[in-house]
Structure 1
Amino acid sequence: MPETGYGPLGDAARQAAGITEVRRQAALLKTGALQSAILTSANFSIIATDEKGIIQLFNVGAERMLGYQAEEVVNKINPSDIHDPQEVRARAKALSLELATTISPGFEALAFKASRGIEDIYELTYICKNGSRFPAIVSITALRDDFENIIGYLLIGTDNSVRKQVELELIEAMAVAEKANLAKSDFLSSMSHELRTPLSAILGFAQLIESGTPAPTLSQKRSVDQILKAGWYLLDLINEILDLALIESGRLSLSLEPISLTEVMLECRAMIEPQAQKHGILVTFPNFEVSYYVKADRTRLKQVLINLLSNAIKYNRVAGTVVVACVIHDPEHVRICVEDSGEGLSPEKQAQLFQPFNRLGQEAKVGEGTGIGLVVSKRLTELMGGTIGLEACSGLR
């Protein structure tokens, strides 16, 4: 006799179907609870519209953010009505140019990208019911049916006021810091000029005594030599401070033109050899078979090279060497390397190399120096369109 649904097998089937239905209802309840929790969240606004943009859902977060009750906006307005109209018009114009099509100001300006399947997150100003305003970050997505037809749009927004306030405070702090930095640069520049005038007089009188008639005694000559040495050192220091102040204030003028690298190297060699001989350092320069030209400020390029060479000699070992090399990478770039046989630098000190007034703990070993020269050299190199860096390890530089 065929099974009619009654009996043991039928009972089992009905029980299985009942369990499946219970599980399905539990899953729906769980999904519904999750959706309800999301929709009632007060941390962000959720606004859903129909395909024409008319608001169909206005969650608790949107109510608290904007001051409207859901019944005041549902089936009555579209989201563009709670945006700053001037910003909406500007967005429509910008998108029209970007996408090469005419986009009307209004809801189309908000939803156009989403309607084309393009991810869209924008920042515009929301206008509350009481007229107050706040910046909002809004993500808009097109809602589609099983046939990919648009049935509405979902807009999720967050209040961006805190981040905007932080950005504003940061900009204001940067402006204050920049103003203070310019004031410092102006002070250093003014001070440097004021110090140079009496210093020039001191150096001038010392040179007159040195070359005057009658000639100074041996004791007087030693005193004059000390005056001249200290005076020239102080003048170099003042010039470095002045250069740094001019660079930081943006008032340093450069004359970039094609110059012969060969000639610059020869001039640097003549200027640095007395210092090298005094310290017993052998300096080797490259021999150029052809002349190379670089676009730079002649005076400032020499200043950078002399500073690098002076440091290579000053911080070298006894009877050490300095090797200057030029590598032509291509017709547009040349690399100038200054390598010495000094102790080298640890990774920690390498990271501090271009910090102003930081002598990396060499004050006791080398008395003269301020820690400004390399900073100025780096800034000058960058202003001339180049880069400066370091390759070093302990025991080799």
Structure 2
Amino acid sequence: MNSSVKHSPSSSGEIRLKRIIDHTPVGVCVTDEKGFFRSVNPAYCRIYGYSPEELIGQHFTVVVPPESRQLLCDLHERFMHYGSEIRGEWTVMSKSGKQLTVLAEAALIHDVDGQPQKATFVLDISDRKQMEQALQTAKEDAERANRFKSEFLSHMNHELRTPLNAILGYTQLLDSTLDVPPASEEQRLFTQHILKSSWHLLSLIDDILDLARIEAGKLPIQLTHIPLESLLNEVLSMLAAQPNSHNVDVQLIPPGPDQQVFADMTRLKQVLVNLGSNAIKYNRPGGTVTLRCERPDPTLVRILVEDTGPGIDPAQMPNLFRPFERLGAEKTTIPGSGLGLSITQKLVHLMNGSIGVDSRLGKGSVFSIDLPVTGAP
């Protein structure tokens, strides 16, 4: 006589369900009406650091910090009576005493005898909470740093510029009176040194304050439509007034009379004067600097500043826009702080533009600025 063992659908389903529960990464426990553990899955044990034998028969508050036990007992009793519990995050306690943060949700079920039980599903989110806390701490640190920068800017603007402006003012007054009575050549030279050094220091202070304002998000930018022809003519005049010991010829190829760009007037002039000044300072004797425009596409204007200088070593290109980086020029007599190109790049980005450079050793450099023709609709 042949015999075989057949499993009922219900028992097969229960086996499959148990396997699923045993292999799920979510912690699952079942407690009776009074809150004592009746079953726990492996994930639940891993979260709390207990074995199943250590938990079965224990009250669920064994994994609850003492200060929260009464509250959770009250919530458990409410759940068993009304079947409702708020899904939420809870602070729990592992076997070692370490506090964890879990996301928990419960379901009301019944055993084979019809007795109510509570199935609780637990997900350990301690790592996520620590990351959130670290991000929050970093955010608060950044906000404190920004507040400090703002206070620094206000303080330095007064403490540095005020006495320096006084030095400049009195030195200019002294320079204007050197003819009455006539001063010696040495006195004139000393006065010119004071003026030159003071203007250089004031320029350096302005650069540092600009960089600090940009990094603190405190530099106001007023975007508007700017006629390019008049702006470039003004830049040309400003460059012509600068020291030009190499007799560099500064040229402008005028854009179309109706050509416009969407930018901040003051900051765009600052950018172009800075690029033009560099092109003059680092040029060869008798070289040229050319300002011109292109239209790479209908939405953009490209402003180019070309020079006939020595060019930039390709190995130094990655450092070009770094603050205080002068690419070896600090070993020469050419004045500069190494902040100009860094500020220029940041200003261009604030005006929704981009800056690039094409340079060849012995041939010169071309700096290009792409800016929108109009604001976003």
TM-score normalised over the length of structure 1: 0.61
Picking from 324, 327, 337, the partner of 1:360 is 327
Distance 1:218 1:366, change over 3 A: closer
Say whether the 8 Å CA contact 1:358–1:371 is kept in structure 2: yes
Shift of 1:327: 0.9
> Corresponding residue for 1:60?
42
Unaligned stretches of 5+ residues in structure 2: 1-14, 30-38, 59-83, 106-120, 366-377
Picking from 250, 254, 260, the partner of 1:293 is 260
Picking from 290, 303, 324, the partner of 1:323 is 290
Question: How does 1:30-109 map onto structure 2 within 5 Å?
Answer: 39=22, 44-45=25-26, 59-65=41-47
Q: Secondary structure at the match of 1:363?
A: helix
Q: Secondary structure at the match of 1:288?
A: coil
Q: For the residues of structure 2 that align with 1:357 and 1:182, how far apart are their CA atoms?
A: 24
Q: Secondary structure at the match of 2:359?
A: coil
Shift of 1:305: 0.5
Could you give the per-residue CA deviations for residues 207-266 of structure 1, whole angstroms, max 9, x where no partner exists?
Answer: 222223515443322222112111111111111122222222222223332222111111
Is the aligned partner of 1:334 residue 2:301? yes
Q: Secondary structure at the match of 2:310?
A: coil
Shift of 1:328: 2.0
Question: How does 1:1-397 map onto structure 2 within 5 Å?
Answer: 39=22, 44-45=25-26, 59-65=41-47, 125=89, 134-135=101-102, 159-212=124-177, 214=180, 216-275=183-242, 277-395=244-362, 396-397=364-365
Q: For the residues of structure 2 that align with 1:157 and 1:299, how far apart are their CA atoms?
A: 59
**One-letter amino acid of the counterpart of residue 201, structure 1:** A
Shift of 1:314: 1.8
User: More helix per residue: 1 or 2?
Assistant: 1
Could you give the per-residue CA deviations for residues 142-171 of structure 1, whole angstroms, max 9, x where no partner exists?
Answer: xxxxxxxxxxxxxx9863322431342244
Q: For the residues of structure 1 that align with 2:142 and 2:236, how far apart are their CA atoms?
A: 41
Q: Secondary structure at the match of 1:302?
A: helix
Distance 1:174 1:351, change over 3 A: farther
Q: For the residues of structure 2 that align with 1:391 and 1:272, how far apart are their CA atoms?
A: 22
Distance 1:128 1:172, change over 3 A: closer
Shift of 1:394: 4.3
Q: Secondary structure at the match of 1:391?
A: strand
Say whether the 8 Å CA contact 1:285–1:324 is kept in structure 2: yes
Say whether the 8 Å CA contact 1:261–1:293 is kept in structure 2: yes
Distance 1:167 1:207, change over 3 A: same
Q: For the residues of structure 2 that align with 1:234 and 1:251, how far apart are their CA atoms?
A: 22
**One-letter amino acid of the counterpart of residue 195, structure 1:** L
Say whether the 8 Å CA contact 1:276–1:283 is kept in structure 2: no
Say whether the 8 Å CA contact 2:246–2:284 is kept in structure 1: no
Q: Secondary structure at the match of 1:334?
A: strand
Shift of 1:309: 0.8
Q: For the residues of structure 2 that align with 1:137 and 1:360, how far apart are their CA atoms?
A: 59
Distance 1:129 1:319, change over 3 A: closer
Shift of 1:336: 0.8
Identity of aligned residues (%): 40
Say whether the 8 Å CA contact 2:279–2:307 is kept in structure 1: yes
**One-letter amino acid of the counterpart of residue 309, structure 1:** G
Q: For the residues of structure 1 that align with 2:147 and 2:360, how far apart are their CA atoms?
A: 37
Distance 1:58 1:192, change over 3 A: same
Shift of 1:308: 0.8
Say whether the 8 Å CA contact 2:254–2:292 is kept in structure 1: no
Shift of 1:384: 2.2
Could you give the per-residue CA deviations for residues 122-145 of structure 1, whole angstroms, max 9, x where no partner exists?
Answer: xx7478699x7625699xxxxxxx
Q: Secondary structure at the match of 2:274?
A: helix
The CA RMSD measured in Å over matched residues stands at 4.1
Say whether the 8 Å CA contact 1:136–1:161 is kept in structure 2: no
TM-score normalised over the length of structure 2: 0.64
Corresponding pairs, count: 295
Say whether the 8 Å CA contact 1:125–1:134 is kept in structure 2: yes
Shift of 1:306: 0.5
Shift of 1:302: 0.8
Q: For the residues of structure 2 that align with 1:262 and 1:278, how far apart are their CA atoms?
A: 27
Q: For the residues of structure 1 that align with 2:159 and 2:215, how far apart are their CA atoms?
A: 19
Say whether the 8 Å CA contact 1:316–1:341 is kept in structure 2: yes
Shift of 1:335: 0.9
